[in-house]
């Protein structure tokens, strides 16, 4: 398969530069795919960005509503988006959208991601800060309508290495919707694994593609041994009324 990473398709012109980042593609089956690049951002630059984001981003820890209960989100968050997009809402929480212009470093990071991921047009960014191993994100998929059916999501990680888990959603039958006479519609049984785990390194990039949000859930579980902070940036494309933007 051809590399989706433009930046990594060319030979490195500087033989003294750090070796080229190596990408690993995982075919999840049925049109879902994940790409992982452990050393996407050089370590020093990634620490510089970590320090900047830790200090300058207006982090909040909102109240969210899950399974009929109100609780504090188990991590800090912030949302940045281009103007005029549909508003994001998850777990009963609608984050305020900050502007890219407020955080020029985010524009540099976005440019680096755009340069690497061919054809990407990310226009929004959800930032998460995990203070230590007690902070986490529960099983979920980023399948909000505003991202369309096959969203591409690019996830950059800085700081403490944490485990990222992926689990295939149970196969749904449509018997409930169509009445007992209709045969159940099943996704074809896949020969692929139903679970995957990645240890997301400082400066790494993970891209979820295709039907990953429709067919899989992901999480970053609690880890007692993780004692330092981690910042994660997920770049997403919110669909717009201009069809060209959504290609
Ligand atoms: O922190 C991560 O690696 C994942 C964050 C995530 O899944 C999300 O913000 O939707
Ligand atoms: Mn997610």
Summarize pLDDT for 65-104 with one digit per residue, the tens. 999 999 999 999 999 999 999 999 999 999 999 999 999 9
Q: What pLDDT is stored for residue 245 in this prediction?
A: 85
Domain ranges of the chain: 20-172+190-240
pLDDT at 11: 41
Residue 18 in this model has a pLDDT that exceeds 60: no
CA-nearest residue for atom 8, ligand 1, is: 234
pLDDT value at 181 more than 80: no
- Binding residues for 2-oxoglutarate, by number, are 128, 130, 140, 218, 230, 234, 236
Q: What is the DSSP letter of 60?
A: B
Sequence-distant (6+) residues with CB within 8 A of 52 are: 105
Residue (of 163, 171, 142) closest to 29 by Cα position: 171
Closest CA to 236 of 246, 221, 226, 222: 246
How many angstroms separate the CA atoms of 91 and 230, rounded? 22
Q: Which is the closest atom of ligand 1 to the Cα of 75?
A: 1
Q: Please tell me the distance between residue 153's alpha carbon and the centre of ligand 1 in angstroms.
A: 10
pLDDT tens digit sequence for 200-225: 999 999 999 999 999 999 999 999 99
**Average pLDDT in the chain:** 90
- Listed in order, strand segments (DSSP E) in the chain are 24-29, 32-37, 63-66, 69-72, 76-81, 97-98, 124-130, 137-140, 153-159, 162-168, 195-200, 204-210, 216-220, 230-236
CA 188 to chain centre: 26
Q: Give the pair of three-digit tokens for residue 201.
A: 């390194």
Do residues 74 and 136 make contact, with C-beta atoms less than 8 angstroms apart?
yes
Residue of 172 and 203 predicted with greater confidence? 203
Rounded to whole angstroms, the Cα distance separating 23 from 4 reads 10
Q: How confident is the model at residue 44 (pLDDT cuts 50, 70, 90)?
A: very high
Which residues make up the environment of ion ligand 2, defined by Cβ < 5 Å?
Answer: 142
Cα 96 from Cα 137, distance rounded (Å) = 20
> What's residue 244's pLDDT?
80
Q: What is this structure's pTM?
A: 0.89
More confident residue, 237 or 178: 237
Contacts of 98 (CB under 8 A, 6+ apart): 58, 78, 79, 80, 81
Q: Is the model's pLDDT at 15 over the cut of 60?
A: no
Dihedral, 181, 185, 191, 194 alpha carbons, nearest 10:
-110
**CA-wise closest residue to 112 among 83, 153, 154:** 154
Q: Whose CA is nearest to atom 3 of ligand 1?
A: 232
Q: How far is the CA of 16 from the centre of ligand 1 (A)?
A: 34
Ligand 1: residues whose CB is within 6 Å?
A: 126, 128, 137, 142, 155, 164, 200, 218, 220, 232, 234
Residue with tokens 């909102």: 62
What local confidence, expressed as pLDDT, does residue 189 receive? 66
CATH C-level class of 20-172+190-240:
mainly beta
Measure the CA–CA gap between 77 and 238, rounded to whole angstroms.
Answer: 18
Q: Which of 232, 233, 235 for a ligand 1 pocket mutation test, highest count of atoms within 8 Å of Cβ?
A: 232
What is the three-class DSSP state of 74? coil
């Amino acid at each position: 398969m051809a590399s989706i990473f433009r930046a990594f398709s060319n030979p490195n012109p500087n033989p003294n530069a750090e070796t080229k980042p190596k990408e690993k593609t995982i075919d999840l089956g049925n049109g879902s795919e994940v790409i992982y690049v452990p050393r996407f951002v050089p370590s020093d630059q990634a620490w510089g960005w970590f320090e900047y984001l830790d200090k300058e981003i207006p982090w909040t820890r909102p109240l969210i509503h899950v399974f009929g209960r109100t609780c504090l989100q188990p991590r800090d968050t912030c949302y940045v988006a281009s103007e005029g997009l549909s508003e994001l809402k998850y777990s009963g929480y609608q984050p305020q959208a900050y502007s890219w212009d407020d955080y020029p470093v985010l524009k540099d990071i976005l440019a680096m991601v755009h340069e690497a991921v061919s054809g990407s047009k990310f226009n929004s960014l959800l930032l998460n800060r995990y203070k230590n191993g007690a902070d986490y994100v529960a099983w979920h998929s980023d399948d909000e309508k505003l991202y369309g059916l096959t969203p591409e999501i690019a996830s950059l990680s800085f700081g403490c290495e944490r485990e990222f888990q992926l689990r295939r959603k149970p196969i749904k039958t449509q018997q409930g919707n169509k009445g007992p006479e209709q045969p159940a519609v099943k996704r074809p049984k896949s020969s692929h694994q139903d679970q995957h785990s990645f240890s997301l390194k400082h400066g790494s990039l993970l891209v979820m593609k295709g039907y990953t949000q429709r067919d899989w859930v992901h999480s970053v579980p609690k880890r007692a041994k993780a004692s330092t902070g981690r910042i994660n940036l997920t770049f997403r494309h919110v669909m717009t009324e201009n069809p060209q933007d959504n290609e």
